[in-house]
A and B are shown apart, each in its own frame.
Chain A
Amino acid sequence: MWKVTIKGLLAHKLRLVLTAIAIVLGVTFISGTFVLTDTLHNTFTTLFGHIYQNIDFEVRGKAAFTNNAPGGGGGAVRKPIDESILSALRQVPGVFYAQGTVSGYAQFIAPDGKAITTGGAPTLGLSFDPNPQLSSLHLAQGKAPTTPSDVVMDEGTARKYHFDVGEHVRILLQGPTQTFTITGLVRFGTADNLAGATLAAFDLPTAQRLFGESGRFDAIDILAAPGADKAGVEHAIARTLPPGVEVVTGQTVANEQADTINQALSFFSTALLVFAFISLFVGGFTIFNTFSIIVGQRTRELALLRIVGASRRQVFRSVLVEAAILGLVASLIGLGLGVLAALGLEALLKGFGITLPSGPLVFEARTVFAAIVVGLGVTVISAISPARRAVRIPPVAALVDYRGEQGESSRRRIVIGTIIAVLGIAALALGLTKPAIQLVGLGALAVFIGIGMLAPTVARPMASALGRPLARVFRISGKLGRENSMRSPRRTAQTASALMVGLALVSTITVFGASLSKSATSSVDNAVSADYIVSNTDNNANGFSNSVAVAASRVPGVAATSTIYSGEFEFRHSLSTMTALSPEHLADTVILRMQAGTGAPALSARELLIDTTTANSDHLSVGSVAPVKFAETGTSTIRIGGIFKPNALLGSFLVGDGFFLSHFNAPLPVAVLLSTANGTTDITKAVTDGLKAYPNLKIQTRAQFEKSQQAQVNQLLGLVYALLALAVVIALIGIVNTLMLSVFERTHEIGLLRAVGMKRRQVRAMIRSEAVILSLFGAIIGVVVGTALGTAFAASLKQQGITDIVIPFPSLVLFLVIAALLGLGAATWPARRAARLDVLAAIAAD
């Protein structure tokens, strides 16, 4: 039986290749994702390992919050420690060397006057530790910084922007921009650059002053004496430390840092894997369809095998083994391509502004395992139903004309399809209200499968309706194409189902994205009344200089400025983000719709304002007192002074800037809002000029700000579309495959049509008509389902700020047009093949 299977596979190489492509692409995506994220994981782990390899211990403030940010240890908020600890530590026996470190915000300005951005990586300012054994920075050129005007720069930045030792460089800091002399260039561990971050290192006292931490350190790095008992030294250090300060090993710090990055990476890889699975899911439909057709075409052969003694089990196994071999080969090819794809994916992300560090490609055993299990699994599972159909072929089918069991199973299919679809909708609804993302995914999956099963019911009438105009335009060719698509509603529906899923996802994202985009605009309208919004050009940056607000307020025409801060704190024992602004200009710069209590007066009274969502979920009202905790100042309580309606810009927790500054150490503003005096005309130029010293700033009018919010949404959507495009491509390959198979199947019939006078052009038109009907059928169902899904998603996120639901009809209609054109494209090859058939041979063929 093995022989039959393998020979069968080899006899249909083209069919094999087309079917395999769906799996190859999906597996490529999976293995590419794994290779890419493993590579990044390895790069970061190695990097942090190098940085901390020489440090024996680090003394630092304890993590401020118990239930910390998802970043874990590496990203924890810590209170700086007092300088005096250092001298005590130097007395501890076994401590060979100890030095304090501070870090903060320092952004270089390029010679052309623009701030040097990193595309997400930090712009780090550090204190330079001259001890080469301890420092993670190694001088590659020049000498260490020793005076308040000295700085050393990372080699990567220097090379990229052509800086040399001895030159001057302007640096953006918390305070005003300052000019420094480059005394040296450093490497970070073994790399000339820390994962794309820029580094500016100063001597310790300068760094302390620049980062607003005079008299304090972020941490103290320690070297143990050679041969000292490290556990003993650690113990001795711990005993000298005041409460709230801890000692950990260098290895611990390295692991924490790597964990933080890897946590972020795992979100990233999960997102990519979701798309990979979507592709494979669509691929599964294609495989199912192909195998169904193959089984149909091989009915006589399979029946003959049954006659000469193949058992049902042998037939079943032969179909599955065929699928397994196909899946295995495709998975292996996909695995190979995945490595290449990892490089491509990196480039794609770079195109969307996400820069990643480079490192040697990492190829884990897990990647191979996952790729093969998933690729093989999807293929075999998709082939189970066709295999079962093969088993039901009676032996006598080899001798008599046999026409499947269309009618008998269609009723059952409708019932099962309905049940699956209803269950899917229920899971979706439950998942959206909960919210539970896995349930949503599972529900969507079930809805697609259910609708895929129900689609044959409407295939005939829909194909008939869609084909009518084609029959009018292309006459007999269009009419025959229409008849062909109506002939087997089940096959029509199966072929179209892959495209249905692809377009449903695209439409979901479109509806969701349009709603998100519109909501972003209207939420800005409802949140901000300022005329100008000043923020960092780099959306991922931590903030900008404190002196910006002062500079802006001096610009003629600016009536009011409001500085916005943002910081983490614990609200009722859970980590939250608070926003702060000055109460004086509240009414001029933001729109705060109070539901209860007061706005500005409460902020001035150092009270907390919360939004209605939080008030409802936490059962809080004006006058409630809630426990809060700050990294800097510890635990206290705060009175709720007011409750405001959700505001997209301000978040859920709002305090006055006075209160904020007293609880956070040297915070950086995230935005400055400006409002102009009544009757003032456009002062964009004046504001821009007034803030020329801060090239890292972006000055936007409210309209521009709205647009940039929308642009952010659109950029994300662009990425999602690009990833979904793969699923659509797989669906189209499915259509090519089906048309190809159906051309082979109808060799005799096409030959007959040609013999009685059909022109080649007409044959092509016939096949193309069929393809257009197929694509439109799938696209229409997909768009309808997707619109419903997208609306449901958007509606479920009303509380989270999606206030407007938009159904972008022009885009959806465009999708239908594109689908029809793609269908036309998919038909090119099969149509040519059909037109080229040798008439005589086709008629003679049995």
Chain B
Amino acid sequence: MTITEEATPPSPPSPGPTAAHAIDLVKTYGKDDAAVHALAGVNVEFRRGQFTAVMGPSGSGKSTLMHCMAGLDTPTSGHAYVGDQDIGLLDDAGLTQLRRDRIGFVFQSFNLVPTLTARENITLPSDLAGKKVDQAWFDFLVGQLGIGDRLSHRPQEMSGGQQQRAACARALIGRPDLIFADEPTGNLDSNSSAEMLGFLRRSVTEFNQSIVMVTHDPRGAAFADRVVFLADGKVVGELASPTADAVLEHMKQLGT
């Protein structure tokens, strides 16, 4: 697809190859004998303008990795960076600001505040920051996502797919350095899933957005530029320009 004239083109990526990276990230739950290593020393790098999928079986540490890299959870040891910022050095206010201004989120469910309309949910980060919304960009996103006629509806009046698209718009509205998507299509039927993933793909290709998506669906991973495989809290493999079959193949190898 092409960018229409009136839409504000996204600013070109600032120099520096990585959007986020982790160094020796360890997350341990419990103590001593009962200790569970959700992350056992993860080193990973997510590049700017790239769509990265993180895959792995249940309990492999996918979600924990995302939580730690987004500043939602504190690692037991190691460092997580967003851009050049070591987020371990940030206090709560700093982390809040980081999430608000530099990171976007899309989750599997409960993405939207139930009492707010779709429009209010989308502009929530800007409202929280007390900033003005870029109206042209808002209109463009809403148009692209096809939720223009749903803006005054509350979440419970929208379908699952519409809710996810509104969440997507919220993640993109502030042009964050990085979007974390945690199984964004987990609750959607295949049609809605495909639309959703297609839109994420386009936002990387056309607006140079950086996205990290946790998923367990090989077809979903196929939309990504690169797949990182996790097992038992470690990075166990990587695949560039994946296809669904290649991902499935790789998963099988890991499984055995």
Contact = CB atoms under 8 A, between A and B. Distances in A.
Contact of B96 (A3, A311, A396, A846): A311
18 contacts: A3-B120, A7-B116, A7-B120, A11-B114, A11-B115, A306-B96, A308-B105, A308-B170, A309-B97, A309-B124, A309-B125, A309-B129, A310-B128, A311-B96, A312-B93, A395-B99, A399-B63, A399-B67
Nearest to B126: A309
A7 B107 contact: no
Contacts of A304: 110-113
Interface string A1-41: 10110011011000000000000000000000000000000
A259 to B, nearest CB: 55
A7 B116 CA distance: 7
Contacts of A300: 110
Contacts of A622: none
A589 B96 CA distance: 85
Interface string A297-321: 0001100111111111010000000
Interface string A268-309: 000000000000000000000000000000001100111111
Given A4-B113, A314-B128, A399 B99 contact: no
B107 to A, nearest CB: 6
A439 B190 CA distance: 70
A300 B99 CA distance: 17
A399 B107 contact: yes
A314 B97 CA distance: 12
B149 interface: no
A398 interface: yes
Interface of B: 63, 67, 72-73, 92-93, 96-97, 99-101, 105, 107, 109-116, 120, 124-125, 127-129, 170, 182
Contact of B128 (A7, A8, A308, A395): A308
A395 B98 CA distance: 13
B80 to A, nearest CB: 14
Given A3-B127, A310-B96, A399-B72, A305 B107 contact: no
Contacts of A305: 113, 124, 128
Interface in A694-715: none
Contact of A312 (B92, B109, B170): B92
A398 to B, nearest CB: 6
Interface of A: 1, 3-4, 7-8, 10-11, 300-301, 304-312, 314, 394-396, 398-399, 846
A312 B96 CA distance: 8
A8 B120 CA distance: 13
A396 B72 CA distance: 5
A394 B72 CA distance: 8
Contacts of B73: 396
A308 B124 contact: yes
A408 B40 CA distance: 28
Contacts of A4: 113, 115-116, 124
A430 B77 CA distance: 55
Contacts of A307: 72, 99, 105
Contacts of B112: 304
Nearest to A8: B115
A398 B107 contact: yes
Nearest to A301: B113
A56 to B, nearest CB: 68
A3 B113 CA distance: 11
B138 to A, nearest CB: 16
A846 B96 CA distance: 28
A311 B125 CA distance: 11
Nearest to B63: A399
B99 A309 contact: yes
Nearest to B99: A309
Interface of A is mostly: helix
Contact of A395 (B72, B120, B170): B72
A405 to B, nearest CB: 16
B166 to A, nearest CB: 12
Contacts of B114: 11, 301
A304 B129 CA distance: 15
A10 B116 CA distance: 11
Contact of B127 (A1, A311, A312, A396): A1
Contacts of B109: 846
A846 B160 CA distance: 13
Nearest to B120: A3
A326 to B, nearest CB: 15
B94 to A, nearest CB: 10
Contacts of A306: 96, 99
Contacts of A311: 92-93, 96-97, 128
A398 B110 contact: yes
A309 B67 contact: no
Contact of B100 (A10, A309, A394): A309
Contacts of A394: 72
A309 B101 CA distance: 8
A3 B67 contact: no
Contacts of A398: 107, 110
8 nearest interchain CB pairs? A309-B100, A7-B115, A396-B72, A11-B115, A311-B96, A309-B125, A309-B128, A308-B125
Contacts of A846: 109
Contacts of A8: 115
B68 to A, nearest CB: 10
A10 B73 CA distance: 33
Nearest to A396: B72
Contacts of B115: 4, 7-8, 10-11, 301
A306 B93 CA distance: 11
B162 to A, nearest CB: 16
Nearest to A309: B100
A311 B124 CA distance: 12
B72 to A, nearest CB: 4
Contacts of A396: 67, 72-73
Nearest to A6: B115
Most buried by B among A304, A308, A311: A308
A314 B99 CA distance: 14
B245 to A, nearest CB: 31
Contacts of B111: 304
Contacts of B105: 307-308
Given A7-B120, A301-B115, 14 more contacts: A1-B128, A4-B124, A301-B113, A304-B113, A305-B113, A305-B124, A307-B105, A308-B99, A308-B105, A309-B128, A311-B93, A395-B72, A396-B67, A396-B73
Contacts of A1: 127-128
A13 to B, nearest CB: 12
Contacts of B170: 308
Contacts of B120: 3, 7
Nearest to B180: A307
Contacts of B124: 4, 305, 308-309
A306 B113 CA distance: 11
Contact of A399 (B96, B125, B182): B182
A7 B128 CA distance: 15
Contacts of B72: 307, 394-396, 399
Contacts of B96: 306, 309-312
A307 B99 CA distance: 7
Nearest to B171: A308
A399 B97 CA distance: 19
A8 B113 CA distance: 10
B253 to A, nearest CB: 30
Nearest to B70: A307
A731 to B, nearest CB: 29
Nearest to B121: A308
A158 B128 CA distance: 73
A35 to B, nearest CB: 38
Contacts of B100: 308-310
A306 B170 CA distance: 14
A483 B67 CA distance: 35
A7 B63 CA distance: 31
A276 B114 CA distance: 38
A326 B204 CA distance: 46
Contacts of A312: 92-93, 96
